Amino acid sequence: MRLAGRSAMRLVRAIPVVGSRFGAPPRLDLDGRVVFVTGAARGLGAQIARAAHARGARVALVGRTLGPLEDLAAELGDGAASFKADVTDAAALQRAADGAVAAFGGIDVVIANAGIAPPSETVATIDPDDFEHTVEVDLLGQWRTVRATLPAVIARRGHIALVGSIYAFFNGVLAAPYAVSKAGVEQLSRALRVELAQHGVTAGIAYLGFIDTDLTSDAFADEHAAAIRSAAPGFITRPMSAEAAADAVLSGVERRAAQVTAPGWVGPLLAARTLTTAVMDDVLIHNPRVNGAIRSAEAVASQSDS
């Protein structure tokens, strides 16, 4: 009963406005804070940086290519600095974290956003290097980002936001390494939330649907991915704007939320995941378009090998 009570209280605390009456963590006003964003050169990461800067934050822009980061820093003006670091390189991430601390005096918020999409292949046909590189970037990259910045965030009693996906609980057909990574990111966020509580640090994950970025456009252009997309309801595959996704992430940071969901349909599906995941798997197994896409992907791979 005591455990059930604590679980119920945690759910109540997650509700905006109401939650604050039941001991939810105090809001984290971004004005004057230092926000460390990976994958900041374009897409969602760049929009998160813009939105955080507009809320008064100083932003450390981190990415693989320095040119676009410097352009964004120039666009934002005072309170923005760029740091080159690939999330597969722990030493480079540490240099970026140390550089942000040197430039701004510390780090209050980390938004681990960097990620890539794998080719639309089955587990049996994907190049092993492609599978492992996706996990290397999308899961281990977030872990390395956290590890490099953690001492600074603990010193400021700040917040860590991991950018996840609906693929943390959706079936990862033809996108297994991405789904594996996002499921791992979910578990990383849960572990961090418990491990860092005694330090006054909060952590959370953003379960985001498809976003109108180059990453999504490139993925949807693949014929196998398009077949999977056609098997899903339109409201699921309709991309939301990068602005809306960034606002959701930052609103979650300000609430120190353990979970953020966007767009609106993601929350109910996440809450019902035990049922929806089982139903989803069965529907996908018996969907002729999905089966056709799998056979097509395997055929293409077979032709390439011959």
How far is the C-alpha of 160 from the C-alpha of 185, rounded, in Å?
A: 12
- Structural domain contains residue 88: yes
Q: Region 249-261: what's the mean pLDDT?
A: 97
63: nearest Cα among 112, 103, 105: 112
Instruction: Please check whether residue 67 lies inside any domain of the structure.
Output: yes
Mean model confidence pLDDT for the chain:
89
Q: What is the pLDDT of residues 230-248, one digit of tens each?
A: 777 888 889 999 999 999 9
Q: Reply yes or no on whether the pLDDT at 210 is more than 50.
A: yes
User: Is 83 or 13 the better-scoring residue by pLDDT?
Assistant: 83
Report the pLDDT averaged over residues 209-216.
Answer: 83
Residue 189's closest CA among 168, 172, 209, 171? 168
Instruction: Tell me the residue range of the domain where 227 lies.
Output: 29-262+273-305
Residue 81 lies in a domain: yes
Q: What are the residue ranges of helices labelled H in the chain?
A: 2-13, 43-54, 66-76, 90-104, 128-135, 141-156, 176-196, 214-221, 223-231, 234-237, 242-255, 266-271, 273-286, 288-305
Q: Which of 167, 178, 207, 210 is catalytic?
A: 178
pLDDT of residue 306: 62
Residue 192 lies in a domain: yes
pLDDT of residue 277: 65
Asked about 167 being catalytic, the answer comes back as no
Q: Does 196 reside within a domain?
A: yes
Q: Name 156's Cβ contacts closer than 8 Å, sequence gap at least 6.
A: 34, 106, 107, 108
Assign 20 a pLDDT band (cuts: 50, 70, 90): very low
Task: Evaluate whether residue 24 is within a structural domain.
Answer: no
Q: Say if 7 falls within a structural domain.
A: no
Residue 35 pLDDT more than 90? yes
Residue 47: inside a domain: yes
Per-residue pLDDT tens for 153-208?
A: 999 999 999 999 999 999 999 999 999 999 999 999 999 999 999 999 999 999 99
Does residue 136 register a pLDDT over 90? yes
* CATH number of the domain enclosing 190: 3.40.50.720
On the question of pLDDT at 24 being above 70, the answer is: no
- Please report which confidence band the pLDDT of residue 87 belongs to, taking 50, 70 and 90 as the band edges: very high
Please, what is the angle between helix 141-156 and helix 90-104, to 10°? 30
Q: How many domains does the chain have?
A: 1
Cα-only R_g, the chain:
20
What pLDDT is recorded for position 235? 85
The number of residues making up the chain comes to 306
Say what the pLDDT of residue 19 is.
Answer: 47
Say what the pTM is: 0.85
CA 116 to chain CA centroid, nearest Å? 11
Which band of pLDDT confidence, cut at 50, 70 and 90, is reported for residue 86? very high
pLDDT higher than threshold 60 for residue 266? yes
